[in-house]
Structure 1
Amino acid sequence: MAYDPGIQAYVDRTRNALGDMADLGALTLTQRRARADRTAALINEPYPAWLEVNDTYIVLTGRELLVRVYRPRAQGPLPAIVYLHGGSFMAGSPQGHDFITASLACNTGALVLSVHYRRAPENPYPAPTDDAYEALCWAAREADLLGIDPTRIAVAGDSAGGNLAAACTLLARDRGGPHLRMQALIYPTLDADFDTPSYLHNTEDAFLTRDAMRVALEAFLPSADTRHDGYALPMRAESHTGLPPAYLLLADQDPLLDDGKRYAEKLRAAGNPVQVSVGTGMIHGFLRARRLSAAVDTEFHQMCAALRQALALPEPAERW
């Protein structure tokens, strides 16, 4: 299947800019992280005047977590979206996802908290998952300081961050909170089954391969025992009942497509409200192509509309 024209333009531009770093296969860990930063730099834009952005830190025993805070200019406490960035558990950062998270704040009207967690392989599971859940609890606990409404919180994440967002909903259910209005999972990594149809037959994704995902999950889950842990691989949780409504945004040419589709089936079977949208002609990471593709822009705004509905927010007067 051919790419959406805007996706093709994004692929061509990115490959030309990255050169030998375009393909993950032969990259060292340092190169993989540098590649993520360079890819992000290609799409960064100045913020609109009505968006306030600052960095803060969650101070925990033995570590500090960077949080980039995006606040649309508005009166009163705002709903919040706790966002976990992607990067194959090994790369990525709030800075590297700046365009995506700024866009999310601008087009939902919610305050977005973009969290940096410890990364594999130096810090394998449960470190990234623990950090994600700690950040979620911090957001609810420090609601007054942050200027957010603790009764209107959602969690979201892309790729590896989608794994962490899904895990947060399971932990919040099992540990008594925080209460969540929605989980938005964007081309998420939810299992370690490399023999799904999308892994075996969906080989058209320009930047993500089956082998690259195997490396990522081996870094995140170096011990075979952890692959039976539902917080590490939310697909394998013993129960999916009692979770917040879900929005899954997937790509038809992504090797991870079946992770998302199968998880949606599990959530539905357990009685949770689920919306699924599969972008046609799309690849893993396609939100970065929003300025080049009308189809991606439509997919993004549909997800924003679902988040606004869940968080009881009106449509913003301005889009960005």
Structure 2
Amino acid sequence: MTSRHLVDPELLGLLDREDWLDLDAAALPSARARLAALTAASAAPGIAPEVVHVARGDAPPLALRIFRPPAPAATPCPAVYEIHGGGFVLGSAAMSDIANAARAIRHGCVVVSVDYRLAPEAPFPAPLEDCHAGLVWLAANAAMLAIDPARIVIVGESAGGGLAAALAMLVRDRGGPAPAGQFLTYPMLDHRTGTADDPYANPVTGEFRWNRASNRFGWAAMRGADEIAAARLPWFSPARATDLAGLPPTFIAVGALDLFLDEDMAFAALLWQAGVEVEAHVYPGAFHGFDLVAEAGVARRFRQDADRALARMLGASLHQGVATA
């Protein structure tokens, strides 16, 4: 069964471009090289990032990319902590530079993005621990960065959204630093999706851009050779959590044709049932990565919804007239 007839007509052109369908170990090096080349060829961001390397004892230094608003406020400003996507196996913090610079300008906030280690070379829990170390550094250096540590919002896209959701649970369980919100764009939350144990098996999702085969590979790479203990399963696969109480206000956005539609909406429902404030959006005709077609009406609606929600979480005013990414 094909879902092409359900695709928003303004998005059809993206389906003719290269994507990451049927990603596996053999295809991974070339996929990484293509994505690195696309990142290198991207336009310069509106603000040049400052790159810091955080020493961590036996662990390798952690690279963080910092974007400061062009007009610093008289009082500490809010902060965004961004975690990039890539199925746990692709990408880098640099590929979010344009979007993160735009966030800093638009919201008058400091944005810090984390260059976490990728699977399969560094499976769970290494990527999550990298994300945790970066958030701890951000909160500990609030005075130097002129931010309010009580107004840090965790932002993640796709696999980065899954890591953001896991990080929110991890810091809750470890006792901080507590984020003011979690902002999840088509997050990758459930390791069962696309497997024989898939609890959703929606016939009209996952045909385009990120499919079941790629999803199985990404999760297998993240799992590595070790079994995941039951107590740590929510930090690995957030959809498997049974206790979502005490998590911060949450924004979730996903396309109606995205492979992650059902797991994202199920996660939103569990958050609501746990008494967590949730804003959830499903965009008709949209598949994974639909917002790359920036001029499409559905992508514009997503950006408007996302801007308003992020401003509320940050407790900041939008700087009108500045384009967002």
Task: Judge same fold: TM > 0.5, yes or no.
Answer: yes
Tell me, yes or no, if structure 1 residue 95 matches structure 2 residue 97.
Answer: no
Q: Deviations over 1:68-91 (max 9, x none)?
A: 112221223221010100111011
- For the residues of structure 1 that align with 2:94 and 2:210, how far apart are their CA atoms? 21
Deviation at 1:40, TM superposition (A): 4.3
* Equivalent of residue 298 in structure 1, options 278, 298, 301: 301
- For the residues of structure 2 that align with 1:37 and 1:289, how far apart are their CA atoms? 20
In structure 2, the residue matched to 1:28 is 27
Amino acid at match of 1:112: V
In structure 2, the residue matched to 1:83 is 82
Deviation at 1:147, TM superposition (A): 2.1
- For the residues of structure 2 that align with 1:254 and 1:84, how far apart are their CA atoms? 20
Deviation at 1:200, TM superposition (A): 4.2
* Equivalent of residue 252 in structure 2, options 245, 248, 255: 248
Secondary structure of 2:227 counterpart: helix
In structure 2, the residue matched to 1:214 is 216
In structure 1, the residue matched to 2:171 is 172
Matches within 5 A, 1:94-173: 94-173=93-172
- For the residues of structure 1 that align with 2:105 and 2:22, how far apart are their CA atoms? 32
* Equivalent of residue 266 in structure 1, options 267, 270, 275: 270
Deviation at 1:205, TM superposition (A): 3.6
Residue 22 and residue 239 in structure 1: after superposition, are their counterparts in 2 closer, same or farther (change >3 A)? closer
- For the residues of structure 2 that align with 1:148 and 1:23, how far apart are their CA atoms? 40
Q: Deviations over 1:191-244 (max 9, x none)?
A: 1222243x4413564211101100000000134631741111111223100000
Secondary structure of 2:246 counterpart: coil
In structure 2, the residue matched to 1:65 is 62
Contact 2:70/2:105 (CA < 8 Å) preserved in 1? no
Contact 1:154/1:311 (CA < 8 Å) preserved in 2? yes
Secondary structure of 2:235 counterpart: coil
Contact 1:24/1:207 (CA < 8 Å) preserved in 2? no
- For the residues of structure 2 that align with 1:40 and 1:250, how far apart are their CA atoms? 23
Secondary structure of 1:157 counterpart: strand
Q: Deviations over 1:51-72 (max 9, x none)?
A: 3532222221231122111222
Amino acid at match of 2:185: I
- TM superposition score normalised by structure 2: 0.88
Deviation at 1:39, TM superposition (A): 4.7
Contact 1:163/1:189 (CA < 8 Å) preserved in 2? yes
- Runs (5+) with no aligned partner, structure 1: none
Residue 39 and residue 284 in structure 1: after superposition, are their counterparts in 2 closer, same or farther (change >3 A)? farther
In structure 2, the residue matched to 1:74 is 71
- For the residues of structure 1 that align with 2:10 and 2:44, how far apart are their CA atoms? 22
How many matched pairs? Answer: 309
Percent identical across equivalent pairs?
Answer: 32
In structure 2, the residue matched to 1:312 is 315
Residue 23 and residue 211 in structure 1: after superposition, are their counterparts in 2 closer, same or farther (change >3 A)? closer
Contact 1:221/1:227 (CA < 8 Å) preserved in 2? no
Residue 212 and residue 22 in structure 1: after superposition, are their counterparts in 2 closer, same or farther (change >3 A)? closer
Secondary structure of 2:192 counterpart: coil
Deviation at 1:96, TM superposition (A): 1.7
Tell me, yes or no, if structure 1 residue 5 matches structure 2 residue 2.
Answer: no
RMSD over aligned Cα atoms: 2.0
Amino acid at match of 1:217: W
- For the residues of structure 1 that align with 2:161 and 2:271, how far apart are their CA atoms? 15
In structure 2, the residue matched to 1:192 is 191
- Runs (5+) with no aligned partner, structure 2: none
In structure 2, the residue matched to 1:53 is 49
- For the residues of structure 1 that align with 2:199 and 2:322, how far apart are their CA atoms? 38
Q: Deviations over 1:278-308 (max 9, x none)?
A: 1221111223222x31320220221121111
Contact 1:36/1:87 (CA < 8 Å) preserved in 2? no
Amino acid at match of 1:108: H
- For the residues of structure 1 that align with 2:229 and 2:105, how far apart are their CA atoms? 37
Contact 2:205/2:256 (CA < 8 Å) preserved in 1? no
Matches within 5 A, 1:265-284: 265-284=269-288
Give the stretch that moved more between structures: 187-196 or 240-249: 187-196
- TM superposition score normalised by structure 1: 0.89
Secondary structure of 2:49 counterpart: strand
Deviation at 1:261, TM superposition (A): 0.5
